[in-house]
Structure 1
C-alpha cells in the first residue's frame, strides 16, 4: 500500500489547486490562468509522488522522471502564464462556456475544474508507476523514454515559438499560422504534449505487475486533446473567428498527426475532415 498515501496527497493537493483556479476564473478575464495553474499543480504533484520513497524503486529512474515532469510543468505553466499576461481577457474556450452556461457558470465551472484535477491526478499517478519500475536502471526503456521525452519537449517549445513569431508579425494579423510545424499539423503543440506522456510510459515498460497502467496517461491525453477539451472547442472558435480561411487550413493540414499532405479518406481529400 506504499502508493496510497502519495496518491491521496496528490488528489487533495490537485483538488485544492483547481478550487483556487475556480476562484480566479469566476472573475471576468480570469480564465486564462486556469490552465497555467493546472500545469504548475500537475507538475508539482507529479514530482512529489515520483520522488516519494518506495521500496524496490530505482533512485536514478525516480530522479530522471521527476526532472522531466518538473520541467514539463514549469515550461507549460510558464508559457501559458506569459501568454495570459500579454493578452487580457478570457480564454476563448472558457469565454464560450461562460456564454453557454450563463447563470449556472460558477457551479458548472467548479465541477469542470475538478474533473481537470482528476485528469492531473491520472497523469501524476502514471508518472509514479513509471518511476517505480523495479527493473535495473538504466534500461533500454529508460533510454527510449528519455529520447522521446526530450524530442517532445523540444517539439512543443518550437511549435509555441513559431506561433508566437507568426502572431508578432503585423503582416499576419488575423491570419492562421500554417508555417513550420504548423504546416504539417493544425495542432503540433497538442501532438507533442501527447508524445511526452507516451515517453513517460516508456519508463514503465517491463514484466512487472501494474506497470502497464502508465499507458493511462497517453491514452487519456489523446482522448482529451483530440476529442474533448483540446481540438474540438479550439477549432470551433477558429471557425467562428477566421471562417473560410480556417476551413482552407482544415482542407490542407491534418488536425493532429504531423504528417505532410492533406487529410484524406480512401485517398480523397475532403473539406473539414478531422481524422485523428
Structure 2
C-alpha cells in the first residue's frame, strides 16, 4: 500500500501543481505554490487515513492531525498571499531566472515530489495495526498539539508585527521570534515526530523517521532557513545580521546579550 499510495499522491500532486503553475503564470505571483503545497499535504493525510491498511485508530488520527495541520497552514498562507505583494524570495527567483517559466514549472513539480515524500510518514502511520490507545498515541497527540499551537502562535505574532506600518523594514523580535529566528520552522519540524510515534508498532515504522529527518535537512540546507535568511539580509541588511548574532537560528533559546 505504501508504494502505491506514494505513486497516487505524487501523480495527483503533479497534476495539481501543473494547474497551479499555469494560474500563477497568468497572475504573476508564484507565492501560491506554498498555499497549494500545504493544501495537498492536508489532502494526502485524508487519503492516508481513508485508504491505509492499518487499524481505525491510527488511520483516523493521521487523517485528523495531518488535515488540520495542513488546512491551518494553507489558510494562513492564503491570507498572506492575498493581502501582500509576491514574496521577495519568488521575486528574486523571477529576476534570477529572467522570467523563464520552464524553471518555474520544474520548481512547482519539485513541490509535488516533496508532497509525496512527506506523505510517507503519514502512510506508514496509517498502516499501524495497533487498535488500542497507548502511551505512544498520547505522546503523538501531545506533540502534535504543541507543534501546531506553537506554529500558529509564531505565525500570528509575525503577522501582527508585519501589519504595523511602523515596523516596515524592521526585524520581528516579538514573542517566540525573540527566542528563535524561525520558530515557525521549528514547530513545523516538531510536528513530524507525531507520525513517528503513531507509527510505532507498524511493520515498517522506521520509514516514518523520514519526516523529521528530511524536514530538518530541507529547513537547514535548502528551502527553509538559507533561502529565507538570504532574502532577509537583502531587505534588512545590518539589522538582520545583528539578529543573527543574537538569536538562535532554530531551537527557541534565550537570546544573547548584544555586545557593546
Give the TM-score range, shorter chain: over 0.9
Q: CA deviation at 1:4?
A: 4.0
Q: CA deviation at 1:97?
A: 1.0
TM-score of the superposition, structure 1-length normalised? 0.88
What is the distance in 1 between the residues matched to 2:52 and 2:130?
16
Map 1:164-175; keep pairs closer than 5 Å: 164-175=159-170
Structure 2 counterpart of 1:59, from 46, 56, 59 = 56
Matched, 1:242 2:236: yes
Matched, 1:204 2:215: no
Paired residues, number: 259
Q: Choose between structure 1 and 2 for higher RCO, CA contacts under 8 A separated by at least 6 residues.
A: 2
Listed as ranges, the gaps of 5+ residues in structure 2 are none
What is the distance in 2 between the residues matched to 1:121 and 1:50?
15
| Cα deviation code 1:175-229 (max 9, x no counterpart) | 11012000110010011111111222111123x4311100101111111112101
Higher alpha-carbon deviation: 147-156 or 131-140: 131-140
TM-score of the superposition, structure 2-length normalised? 0.93
Matched, 1:29 2:28: yes
What is the distance in 2 between the residues matched to 1:152 and 1:13?
27
SS class of match (1:31): coil
Q: CA deviation at 1:26?
A: 2.4
Correspondence for 1:117: 112
Correspondence for 1:48: 47
Correspondence for 2:156: 161
Listed as ranges, the gaps of 5+ residues in structure 1 are 264-268, 271-276
Q: Could you say if the C-alpha distance between residues 86 and 66 of structure 1 is closer, same or farther in structure 2, counting changes exceeding 3 Å?
A: same
What is the distance in 2 between the residues matched to 1:194 and 1:53?
23
CA contact (8 A) 1:163 1:177 kept: yes
CA contact (8 A) 2:128 2:203 kept: no
CA contact (8 A) 1:129 1:211 kept: yes
CA contact (8 A) 2:48 2:126 kept: no
Q: CA deviation at 1:5?
A: 3.5
Matched, 1:99 2:95: yes
Correspondence for 2:221: 227
Correspondence for 1:75: 72
Matched, 1:8 2:7: yes
Correspondence for 1:141: 136
